[in-house]
Amino acid sequence: MLFTCGAAWFSRDWWLPKVGLRPPQQVSSAAWEGRSDAAAKRADVAIKQLQAPRGPAFANVTAGELLSYLLKEFGAGMHKSVDSVQAAVVGDRVLVRASVVTKDIPREVIGPFGMLLSDRTRVILGGTVRVIQPGMSEMQVKDVLVGGVRVPSAAIPTLLRQLEVGERKSRTAPDGFEFPTPNYIGDVRVANGKITVYKKP
């Protein structure tokens, strides 16, 4: 079994494209941004302007600014095995990647390849964002890459539960997680590599 897994792992450049498991080229060339206090402050200023009655109707923020803002405001409950979080935008998808302790990734998510991974593994989540109700938004995860291998869609809910990503309620999509946002935000749209936050009418 170990020999078979090893052969599959080291020959992945040949077989991954044939089964559709190679990460999209856009992911490998994405402009990743980490969290910073400066980015969180820029997002905070831009978003708070929407609260004013005569303020702008929308604000554009980068992936790093939104990530920094959310982690500063609501990131206290992040799973202890998650580290080095970064974000990017590709087309209409928000991408979040992090270094995760490999043993905390469920076996049904990575299968026998877990034996070939190091102590920490890079995990990438890609999905869409929407406002569910005033004060709460949801990211629905469409793609997950663990160590460069695409995770089957059916295994995504298991990974999210194990890593305690965001909040989960009865209304939450099985492959999604919720996170708080200010009550005055009415919509979040991701398109053409941009994140636009709209005020509630």
pLDDT along the chain (201 residues), means of 10: 44 42 53 90 93 92 90 68 87 88 77 72 89 90 84 86 77 87 92 89 82
Element (H, E) at 131: strand 120-133
pLDDT value at position 40?
92
pTM: 0.78
The strand pairing partners of 167, in sequence order, are: 178
pLDDT value at position 65?
92
pLDDT value at position 121?
85
Positive or negative: CA dihedral 147, 150, 154, 157: positive
pLDDT value at position 117?
73
Angle separating helix axes 37-48 and 63-74, nearest 10 degrees: 90
pLDDT value at position 42?
94
Exposure string of 166-187, with b = 16+ CB inside 10 Å and e = fewer, is: bebeeebbebbbbbebbebbbe
Residue 63 tokens, joined: 């992936």
pLDDT value at position 114?
63
Positive or negative: CA dihedral 175, 179, 183, 186: negative
What is the phi/psi pair of residue 48, to 5°?
Answer: -65, -25
pLDDT value at position 196?
94
Burial class (CB in 10 A: 0-12, 13-18, 19+), 3: exposed
pLDDT value at position 76?
55
